[in-house]
Structure 1
Amino acid sequence: MTKYNTLLYYCYSTIADAEQFATDHLKFCKSLNLVGRIIVAEEGLNGTVSGTAESCNTYMDTLHADPRFARVDFKVDEVGEPSFVKMHVRYKSEIVHSGLRDPHIINPEKKTGKHLDPKDFMAMKDRDDVVILDVRSNYEHSLGKFKNAVTLDIENFRDFPAKINELAQLKDKKILTYCTGGIKCEKASALLLHEGFTDVYQLHGGIIKYGKEAGGQDFEGKCYVFDNRLSVDVNQVNPVVISTCYNCGKITDKMINCANPECNEHFTQCDECGTAMDGCCSDDCKAHPRKRVYDGTGYYVKVPQPVNVKKAKVQLAD
């Protein structure tokens, strides 16, 4: 039986001619029959790829052999089938969109919060002088989060900078930031330091690594992931379900995307409502003429877009 792996990783490291690198890297990934999604920017790489164990090992070995990516910390999951359908490598201005491009404010290669390995994070998280800060979006922390974590009302990570003022009263605390794999914390912790927070930490490797190395203790619910699994289990010690169905309020940990592609909302929905609503969040979406066929998973393959083609100027404002 063929064994498959899914790799989650990121690396902040300067890439000269990142657009050309993205084009070449797509060819390399396809040569290994990998599927997944990788973002390339001048500041580094952010990716999730999936394929046979052999292909994934070759991919990891190749990146580690490149001095720019020698320190990449791959999070490896064994999966029953590849976690994507296609392979995309895209050039963007940032590998995680913060809207802050001034290197004097945000430069993860030079200054971030202190990295904590999962066991050290677990040892610190319940102290009275500590605040655990979730830097992910609403739909992510509604599905699962650390017990007693502070969450922010943000739709996307680019909304995080505007929320810093809401945390001002916590400046005398040790701030422990966390996210899925660690990439958002690199910029979030750097911004907190810039804004006058003095004792800032980040969970190295994020929730995924914490689950693997610390058993996921006190992470409540599931962790949202950006592939066709949509969510993964983390807590092997004291698991609970904290999310509820968007439509009926019943306890459920099933995360889907709305079947209406013009909505595409991430939300939790029980199987009963999934059937009744045909995978949609509302009656309006259910009646939408472009509604996709709901197969019970709530995952939809994105419509292919041209690779590495710059957006028109009118779109860059977003």
Structure 2
Amino acid sequence: MEKYNTLLYYCYSTIADAEQFAADHLKFCKSLGLAGRIIVAEEGLNGTVSGTPEACKTYMDTLHADPRFADIDFKGDEVDTPSFVKMHVRYKSEIVHSGLRDPNIINPQQKTGKYLEPNEFLAMKNAEDVVILDVRSNYEHNLGKFKNAITLDIENFRDFPAMINELAQYKDKKVVTYCTGGIKCEKASALLLHEGFTDVYQLHGGIIKYGKEAGGEDFEGKCYVFDNRLSVDVNSINPVVISTCYNCGKTTPKMINCANPECNEHFTQCDECGEKMDGCCSDACKEHPRKRVYDGTGYYVKIPQPVNVAKKAKVQLAE
């Protein structure tokens, strides 16, 4: 059976005319037969792409040949099937949405927390003067997190800045941030430094690189990923399941999206409840007229949603 590769990467590097770059990059990715999701902004790239090993190698070589992207650290997995159905390259104002656009506050190209390579993180993480800070969203750290990590009650990374005051008690500690691949830590650690934290670090390459290079020791549960795999195993040394079924409370590592596309909630659900609830988080979603067919995976290709005019207007005013 033919194998495929899935690449996870990001790069903070100035891209002039990023909107045109996004259009051109989409054509390039399609020419290689890749599928995936890439965000392009003036501040850089954030992507996950999947395709044949040859196509992925050409993609990596091409980006590395561009001086703007020469330092990209690709994290790769071998997969049985492509991790996406379609190829999307979208232009946005940020490659990870923080809601803070003042480069004097957050500019990962100028100032971030000190990088810790996986083995350095492994050696440091249990020290008494170290705080391990998860900067991901609730649904991600509910599925898996580092043992004894501080987690935040946030639905999206843009909620992180509002949580800074809750972290003030750790200003005299060594604060080590982590996320899936490292991209959120670049901005989270920069904001912590701006807010007066003095000894700030970040796990370079995130959970994924730590799993590959240090065995994932003490990462409890599974790691949420933003493709049709939904989650991956990280810990090959002392694995444990920490997540529980949203419906019955039974221990389960399975993460799905609600079968109701107007809900699309990310949540953990055991197979028994998946069959009983038809892949939905609630009875109301189970009865929804637009409910998608549940095939046991809990992953769905996105269905275009009706435009919420009021919400869109609110976002535009906020911007």
| TM-score between the two structures when normalised by the length of structure 1 | 0.97
> Counterpart of 1:27 in 2: which secondary structure?
helix
Q: How does 1:1-318 map to 2 (within 5 A)?
A: 1-303=1-303, 315-317=315-317
Alpha-carbon offset, residue 304 of structure 1: 6.0
> Counterpart of 1:220 in 2: which secondary structure?
strand
The CA distance in 2 between the partners of 1:203 and 1:313, in whole Å, is 37
The CA distance in 1 between the partners of 2:293 and 2:15, in whole Å, is 40
The CA distance in 1 between the partners of 2:16 and 2:148, in whole Å, is 42
Aligned residue identity for 1:226: F
Aligned residue identity for 1:195: E
Unaligned runs of 5+ in 1: 306-310
Distance 1:215 1:68, change over 3 A: same
Contact 2:261–2:303 (CA under 8 A) maintained in structure 1: no
CA deviations over 1:1-60 (Å, ceiling 9, x no partner): 322100000000000000000000000000000000000000000000000000000000
CA deviations over 1:115-156 (Å, ceiling 9, x no partner): 000000010000000000000000000000000000000000
Aligned residue identity for 1:120: E
Aligned residue identity for 1:225: V
Aligned residue identity for 1:60: M
> Counterpart of 2:211 in 1: which secondary structure?
helix
Aligned residue identity for 1:214: A
The CA distance in 1 between the partners of 2:78 and 2:316, in whole Å, is 38
Unaligned runs of 5+ in 2: 306-310
The CA distance in 1 between the partners of 2:51 and 2:228, in whole Å, is 13
CA deviations over 1:197-252 (Å, ceiling 9, x no partner): 00000000000000000000000000000000000000000000000000000000
CA deviations over 1:268-313 (Å, ceiling 9, x no partner): 00000000000000001111111111111000001369xxxxx976
Alpha-carbon offset, residue 317 of structure 1: 4.4
Aligned residue identity for 2:100: L
Aligned residue identity for 2:125: K
The CA distance in 2 between the partners of 1:194 and 1:81, in whole Å, is 43
The CA distance in 1 between the partners of 2:150 and 2:102, in whole Å, is 27
CA deviations over 1:134-180 (Å, ceiling 9, x no partner): 00000000000000000000000000000000010100000010000
The CA distance in 2 between the partners of 1:254 and 1:176, in whole Å, is 28
Q: Which runs of 4+ in 1 moved over 2 A?
A: 311-318
The CA distance in 1 between the partners of 2:50 and 2:201, in whole Å, is 30
Cα-Cα RMSD? 1.2
* Number of equivalent positions: 313
The CA distance in 2 between the partners of 1:39 and 1:3, in whole Å, is 26
Aligned identity (percent) is 85
The CA distance in 2 between the partners of 1:107 and 1:221, in whole Å, is 32
Alpha-carbon offset, residue 315 of structure 1: 4.5
Distance 1:314 1:174, change over 3 A: closer
| TM-score between the two structures when normalised by the length of structure 2 | 0.96
Aligned residue identity for 2:233: D
The CA distance in 2 between the partners of 1:87 and 1:235, in whole Å, is 30
The CA distance in 2 between the partners of 1:28 and 1:175, in whole Å, is 40
Aligned residue identity for 2:206: G
The CA distance in 2 between the partners of 1:162 and 1:85, in whole Å, is 35
Aligned residue identity for 2:124: M
The CA distance in 2 between the partners of 1:145 and 1:122, in whole Å, is 14
Contact 2:178–2:185 (CA under 8 A) maintained in structure 1: yes
